[in-house]
Chains A and B, each alone.
Chain A
Amino acid sequence: QVQLVESGGGLVKPGGSLRLSCAASGFTFSDYYMTWIRQAPGKGLEYISYISSTSIHTNYADSVKGRFTISRDNDKNSLYLQMNSLRAEDTAVYYCARVLDDSSGYSFDYWGQGTLVTASS
C-alpha cells in the first residue's frame, strides 16, 4: 500500500535551517509529481511547493520562494525540503503528498502523517 513518511522536523531558531525528508513506498515514486503542504497550528492548509517526476519542474509559493528548495532522489524513493532563513510564521506541520493527475486537474491522493517544524527562540 502507498506510504509516505516524513521526518526531520523539530525546534529551530529563527534564521536557522532544517531539511525535511519524505520516504515513499508502495508505488513507483519516479512516475509521480510530489508536493509539500503545511498547516500552521489551528489554521488551514497552505501549498508550499511541487516537483515534477524527473525534477525538471519545480514551483514555490511566494511565502517561501528564495528560502525553501524542493528536491527528490528517485533512486532512494525520497522527497526533500530544504528550509533556510526560517521565520516564526513558518511554524507548522509539514505534509508531503503525492500528486494525482486525473486529466481534469491535479489532486493530492496520498499524504504523509506530517512533521512539526517550530521556529522559535
Chain B
Amino acid sequence: GAVVSQHPSWVICKSGTSVKIECRSLDFQATTMFWYRQFPKQSLMLMATSNEGSKATYEQGVEKDKFLINHASLTLSTLTVTSAHPEDSSFYICSARAQTGVADTQYFGPGTRLTVL
C-alpha cells in the first residue's frame, strides 16, 4: 500500500532557529500534499496544500512567511518553520494524495513532534 514518511519524527530546537520537516511518498507520486498541525487532544488543522511545481495554498490565519512549504518533486514536500517560537511547538502531520482505483485517497505520515525551547 501507499506509504508516506516524515523526517524527523521529533525535533527540539531553540527559539529563533529554523526547522525543516520532510514529507515523502515512498511508493507513489503525489501531485498534492497537505500539511496539518495538531495540538494535544485536538483535531488536525489544515495549514496548507502543497502542489508540485507551484506555490502552496495556505489556509486563513497561517503565516506564509513563517511556514515555508516547498514541493520540489512528486515525492517530496518540505515544511520549514522559520524563526521558531515556543508557540510553534506542535505535532505536524503531512499527507499525500494518491489515486487508488476510481477515487483519490489521502495517506498520512506518522507526524513530527516539534518542541521549541
Asked if A pairs with B, the answer is no
Interface on A for B, CB 8 Å cutoff? none
Interface on B for A, CB 8 Å cutoff? none
